[in-house]
Structure 1
Amino acid sequence: MSLSEQFLSEQSVCLEQFSTWSEMEQVNFVEQLLGSMSHYQHGQVQEYLAPMLQRDFISVLPTCGLDHLAERILACLDAKSLASAEMVCSEWRRVVSEGLLWRKLIESQVRRSNLWRGLAVRRGWLRDLRRPQRDGAESDVGSSDSHYRQLYPKILSDIRRIESNWAKGSFKLRRIQCRSESSKGVYCLQYDEDKIISGLRDNTIKVWDRKSLECTKVLSSHMGSVLCLQYDDDIIISGSSDSTVRVWDVRTGQPLNTLYHHCEAVLHLRFCDGLMVTCSKDRSIAVWDMHSPSDIALRRVLVGHRAAVNVVDFDSRYIVSASGDRTIKVWHTASCEFVRTLSGHKRGIACLQYRDNLVVSGSSDNSIRLWDIESGICLRVLNGHEELVRCIRFDSKRIVSGAYDGKIKVWDLQAALDPRSSADALCIVTLSEHSGRVFRLQFDEFQIVSSSHDDTILVWDFLGDDGDQGGTKEAADEEVDEAVVLHFADADAEDEGGGGDAEDNEAGDEDD
C-alpha cells in the first residue's frame, strides 16, 4: 500500500520531535499510541517486533573474541540438545565442532560412570580420549569431533545391549580349566583388565592372562588349600587352611612375608588403606596394621562368635563379620569395639558384602538377606537357591549370588530394597554353567567371573566384543543339568554342618 505525501511529511516531523524526548518519554508515548490501536494493528506491530527482540548470542560471542563462552554454554547441553544445536545454523555447528563438544561430552560421561569408563577400555577409545589434541587446520579439528559424534550413538547401543543381555541371561562364555593335579576346586579369585588371580584347593595360587586365559604364574608356599586372597598394585595377600596368611609380590610372585596367628584355617581376609582384617575357623577375627609388606602388626583380636567366622568386610566406620553361629556382628573399625548383632538367618552364614549402610548376606539356610547396618533391621529375604549360598556381591543395580546348587542368580537390588516389589519379580535370571558348587564370584557392568568345585573359572561376558552373544540361560540349563546331578551324587554329604576338610566345612552351622 502506497503512503501519501502528506503522511510522509508529517511522519518526518513526528520522528524529529520523537528524537528530542528522553527514553522514558519515548516509551510513554509509544504505550499511549499502542493503546489507541486496533487488535489487527497490534498483530502487525508484534510481527515487526518479534525478530528485533531475539538475539543469536551464540553467533555474536565469537565476533567479540568470546568463542570460549559460546563453547561453555553449549557444553551444558545433553546429547539430544547438542545434536539439535548443530542444526540451528552453520555458526553454531562450527562452535560445536571446533569446541570438540562431542568429545567433551563423552569425557564427562567416562569420568562419572564406571559403565562408560569400562566401555572406553573394552572398545579401545579411552586411548583416543587420553591423547592430547594437536593444533591443526579447522577441517582436521572438525573431522575429529565428527568421529566422537558418530561414536556417541554406538556407545548408547552398547549400553542398551549390555542391559538387555543381563536381563535375558545372554552371554559369551569363556572357560578356564585349572587342571589341578591333586585336589580339585577353585576357592577364591580376583580379576582386573589384565589378569585373574585364583586360589586353589591344591595349595597353589595361579595367575591367568585375561586375553589368552593361559596360566602365567604359579605361587607355591602354602601347605593347605588357598581359601581367600586379595591383591592390589603391589601385593597379593592369601589365607589358607594351613592357618597362615602369606604376602606375595604381585609382579614377581615372590613371597614377602608370612603371618602366624590363627590356629585354624584362615577363611577370609580384606585389606585397604593400611588395615587388614582376617577371620578363621578358630572363631576369631584379627585386625592388623599394615605399615609395609614386611611390617604387618597385629592390633586387636575380636572374639564373640560361637563358630567359625566365615567372612569379614569393612570400611572406615565398621568391621562386619559373619559366622556359622548364624549371626552377623558389627564392630567399630577405629576402636574395634562391638556394636551390634544382626540375627535372622536360620543356619550358618557363608558370605556377605558390606557397602554404605547395606549388608547383603548368604547362608546355608539357602536364603539371602539384606540388612540396614545402622538399625540392624532385615530389609528383605531372597529365596531361590536350592542349597547353601556360598558367595555374594552387589553394586548399585544388582546382587549376584552363587550357591552349592551350581547356580548363579542375578537379582534386582533396587526392587529388593522397595517393600512394594513382589518377591517373584526380584530374580532377574539364573545362570547354570558350572557342574559343581560355586565357591566365589566377582562382577562388574560387563561380566561375571566365577569359580567352582568343578575346577573351572568361568568368564560370563554380557557385552561380547565380537558381537556374538554366546549362550543363553535356557541353553546353559539344558547343557549342564545332567552334569550337576552327577556331581552332587557324591558330594552332598560333605558340608551339612559336620565332617569334611576344613575348607569344605567353613560355611556350615555351629557344631551342635
Structure 2
Amino acid sequence: MGNNKSKENEVTDLLETHTDHTDSINCICVADDESVIVTGSEDKTARLWTTKDPKGSECLGTLKGHSGYVTCVHVFDTYVFTGSSDSTIKKWNMTSSECEFTYEGHASRVMRVICTGEYVISSSRDSTAKVWLYDTDDLPEGKKAKACIRTFKGHKKTVHPLIYISADESKGEEDLVITGSTDSTAKLWTLDSGTCLKTYANHKGPVMVMTTDNSGRILFTGSADTTIISWDIATAKQLKVYESHNTEIMCLSVVNKLMYSGDCAGLVKCWVWSMGDITREYRGHKHSVTCLKFYKGILYTGCGDGDVRGFEAKTSALVKTLTTKDSTQVINCMAICNDKLFSCSQDGKMRIWDISKISKIKENETDANKVTEKQENDIKQEETAEDNNFLKNVAEDVQ
C-alpha cells in the first residue's frame, strides 16, 4: 500500500498532501468513531486512511475491483460500501481490504449508497432506488440477485440524493426513505413495503441536494431551478420557497434553526429556515461552491477555484483561506474530524489542513446559529403544530 506525500510549498495550515489516487477524488466518508476516512476516485479505487495518528495520516488499504470509477462511499461498522459507474455496489472488509460481496441489479451508474445496519440503500441513474440485505453471508452461491429485496420505481429520470429516516417503533412509525431525482421531484417511500407515500413536486429543474431538519420532519430540496423548497414530510405540503439564488443550488446544510446554501455563482447564503429570512451571505468565491461544512462556529466552503474558505458563521467574515500554489483544481468533497479538514480535488490529491487554530474563535454552535427572540417564538409555534400532526399523518398514509 502506498503513502505518497508531496510538499507542494510551505503553507502553515497544510499538514499533508497525499497523491496516492491517480485521478479525481469524487467522494469522502468519515467513520462514526472518526478513526478512519474513505475516499473514492475516478481511478476506480477507494482508499482507507488513518486520521488520529500523530505522525500523520497513512493509507491503510486500497479497495480494488470496480471496473468503473467510484461515485460514492459509505462506512458502517467494519465495512465500506462503494458505488460505481459500473452499476454495482461492493461491500469491503476494512481489516483485510477484501471485497466480501458485490451487489448487482442496477442498470446504470450508482449515484449514492447508505447503510442502515440492516439494509443497504442505493440510488442510480437507471431511475430507481434499491434496498439490499446488509447481511449477505447466508445467500447461496450464484444467488446474488436475492440480495435485492426492494426496488423503488416511480421516478422518470436519475435518482441521486437519498435520505433515510429511522423509525421509532414505540410510536408506531416505519422506516422511511426519501429519494430526489432529476425529474424535478422527490418521493417518500416506506422501506419495508416499498410503497410510495408522497411525491414532492413543485420544482422546475432537477433536485440536486436534499436534507432535513434535526427532527426529520421537514424536508429541504435544492434544485437546478435556483430555488430551495421546504416540505412537511408527512403531508407533502409545501411550506416555503426560498428564492434568492440566481443559479443552481449545489450544496445544502441545516444546522439547528439555520440553513446554509451554496450555488454555482459562488454565493453562500444563511437562512432562518422556518421564517424564510436571509441573515447572512458569504462572499469571495471565484467559482461554484461545491460543498460546505459547519464546524465549531466556522462555515467551511469548498470551491471550484481550488480553495477552501473558513467564514465566521455568525458574522460572515472570512477568517481563513486554505490554499496552495497549485490548488487550482475543483474541490469535489471535504470532511472534518479531529480538528483536521480533508479536502479532495479533481487533481487526485487529498490535502489535510490543521483547523484547530481557526476553530478557537470563541463561537459555539448555539451562538453561531442564534435567531432573534421574535423569530424563536414564531418557530416554537410552528414546531408545536408540526409535532401534533406528524405522527397522525404518517400513520394514515401507511394504513
TM-score (norm 1): 0.49
CA contact (8 A) 1:174 1:460 kept: no
CA contact (8 A) 1:447 1:459 kept: no
Corresponding residue number in structure 1 for 2:254: 354
Q: Kindly tell me the number of residue pairs found equivalent between the two proteins.
A: 290
Corresponding residue number in structure 1 for 2:121: 237
The farther-off stretch of 349-358 and 193-202 is 193-202
Report the Cα distance in structure 1 between the residues aligned to 2:179 and 2:118, rounded to whole angstroms. 19
Residue pairs, 1:115-134, within 5 angstroms: 118=33
> C-alpha offsets along residues 145-204 of structure 1, whole Å, 9 cap, x if unaligned?
xxxxxxxxxxxxxxxx98xx9xxxx963648766676553x3323335634323223323
Corresponding residue number in structure 1 for 2:57: 172
Q: For the structure 1 residues 204 and 260, does the alpha-carbon distance in structure 2 shift closer, same or farther, using more than 3 Å as the test?
A: same
Query: What is the CA-CA distance between 1:240 and the residue it aligns to?
Result: 0.8
Q: For the structure 1 residues 333 and 181, does the alpha-carbon distance in structure 2 shift closer, same or farther, using more than 3 Å as the test?
A: closer
Residue among 223, 226, 232 paired with 1:326? 226
- SS of equivalent residue, structure 2 residue 318: helix
CA contact (8 A) 2:310 2:318 kept: no
Residue among 176, 181, 191 paired with 1:275? 176
Query: What is the CA-CA distance between 1:342 and the residue it aligns to?
Result: 1.3
Query: What is the CA-CA distance between 1:216 and the residue it aligns to?
Result: 4.7
Query: What is the CA-CA distance between 1:357 and the residue it aligns to?
Result: 1.3
Q: Which amino acid aligns with 1:343?
A: E
Report the Cα distance in structure 2 between the residues aligned to 1:431 and 1:346, rounded to whole angstroms. 30
Residue among 311, 327, 332 paired with 2:209? 311
Q: For the structure 1 residues 225 and 403, does the alpha-carbon distance in structure 2 shift closer, same or farther, using more than 3 Å as the test?
A: farther
Corresponding residue number in structure 2 for 1:259: 152
Corresponding residue number in structure 2 for 1:297: 195
CA contact (8 A) 1:352 1:360 kept: yes
Residue among 215, 223, 248 paired with 2:132? 248
Corresponding residue number in structure 2 for 1:87: none
Report the Cα distance in structure 2 between the residues aligned to 1:356 and 1:435, rounded to whole angstroms. 33
Matched, 1:284 2:185: yes
CA contact (8 A) 2:285 2:303 kept: yes
- SS of equivalent residue, structure 2 residue 254: strand
Report the Cα distance in structure 2 between the residues aligned to 1:268 and 1:461, rounded to whole angstroms. 28
CA contact (8 A) 2:123 2:159 kept: yes
Corresponding residue number in structure 2 for 1:337: 237
Report the Cα distance in structure 2 between the residues aligned to 1:313 and 1:285, rounded to whole angstroms. 11
Q: Which amino acid aligns with 2:115?
A: Y
Hey, which of these two has a bigger chunk of strand by percent? 2
CA contact (8 A) 1:406 1:432 kept: no
Corresponding residue number in structure 2 for 1:368: 268
Corresponding residue number in structure 2 for 1:424: 318
Query: What is the CA-CA distance between 1:237 and the residue it aligns to?
Result: 0.8
Corresponding residue number in structure 1 for 2:74: 190
> C-alpha offsets along residues 295-350 of structure 1, whole Å, 9 cap, x if unaligned?
12111111111100111112433110000011111111232211111122221012
Q: For the structure 1 residues 335 and 366, does the alpha-carbon distance in structure 2 shift closer, same or farther, using more than 3 Å as the test?
A: same
Q: For the structure 1 residues 384 and 219, does the alpha-carbon distance in structure 2 shift closer, same or farther, using more than 3 Å as the test?
A: farther
Corresponding residue number in structure 1 for 2:19: none
Q: For the structure 1 residues 325 and 210, does the alpha-carbon distance in structure 2 shift closer, same or farther, using more than 3 Å as the test?
A: same
Report the Cα distance in structure 2 between the residues aligned to 1:433 and 1:219, rounded to whole angstroms. 39
Query: What is the CA-CA distance between 1:397 and the residue it aligns to?
Result: 3.9
Q: Which amino acid aligns with 1:282?
A: D
Residue among 182, 186, 202 paired with 2:86? 202
Report the Cα distance in structure 2 between the residues aligned to 1:279 and 1:307, rounded to whole angstroms. 11
Report the Cα distance in structure 2 between the residues aligned to 1:461 and 1:174, rounded to whole angstroms. 17
Report the Cα distance in structure 1 between the residues aligned to 2:159 and 2:84, rounded to whole angstroms. 14
Report the Cα distance in structure 1 between the residues aligned to 2:177 and 2:324, rounded to whole angstroms. 33
Whichever of the two has the greater Rg, that structure is: 1
Q: Which amino acid aligns with 1:424?
A: L
Residue among 310, 335, 339 paired with 1:411? 310
Q: Which amino acid aligns with 1:297?
A: T
Report the Cα distance in structure 1 between the residues aligned to 2:235 and 2:208, rounded to whole angstroms. 22
Query: What is the CA-CA distance between 1:259 and the residue it aligns to?
Result: 1.2
Query: What is the CA-CA distance between 1:364 and the residue it aligns to?
Result: 1.1
CA contact (8 A) 1:172 1:462 kept: no
Hey, which of these two has a bigger chunk of helix by percent? 1
Q: For the structure 1 residues 255 and 374, does the alpha-carbon distance in structure 2 shift closer, same or farther, using more than 3 Å as the test?
A: same
Q: Which amino acid aligns with 1:358?
A: L
- SS of equivalent residue, structure 1 residue 172: coil
Report the Cα distance in structure 2 between the residues aligned to 1:458 and 1:175, rounded to whole angstroms. 15
Q: For the structure 1 residues 402 and 258, does the alpha-carbon distance in structure 2 shift closer, same or farther, using more than 3 Å as the test?
A: farther
Corresponding residue number in structure 1 for 2:5: none
CA contact (8 A) 2:63 2:92 kept: no
Report the Cα distance in structure 2 between the residues aligned to 1:213 and 1:196, rounded to whole angstroms. 9
Residue pairs, 1:45-84, within 5 angstroms: none
CA contact (8 A) 2:267 2:285 kept: yes
Query: What is the CA-CA distance between 1:258 and the residue it aligns to?
Result: 1.3
Query: What is the CA-CA distance between 1:401 and the residue it aligns to?
Result: 3.7
Q: Where in structure 1 are there 5+ consecutive unaligned residues?
A: 1-116, 123-160, 464-512
Query: What is the CA-CA distance between 1:218 and the residue it aligns to?
Result: 3.4
Corresponding residue number in structure 1 for 2:17: none
Corresponding residue number in structure 2 for 1:378: 278
Report the Cα distance in structure 1 between the residues aligned to 2:302 and 2:116, rounded to whole angstroms. 24
Query: What is the CA-CA distance between 1:451 and the residue it aligns to?
Result: 6.4
Query: What is the CA-CA distance between 1:235 and the residue it aligns to?
Result: 1.3
CA contact (8 A) 1:313 1:320 kept: yes
CA contact (8 A) 1:269 1:277 kept: yes
Query: What is the CA-CA distance between 1:358 and the residue it aligns to?
Result: 1.8
CA-based RMSD of the aligned residues comes to 3.8
Q: Where in structure 2 are there 5+ consecutive unaligned residues?
A: 1-31, 37-50, 137-143, 167-174, 356-399
Report the Cα distance in structure 2 between the residues aligned to 1:192 and 1:430, rounded to whole angstroms. 32
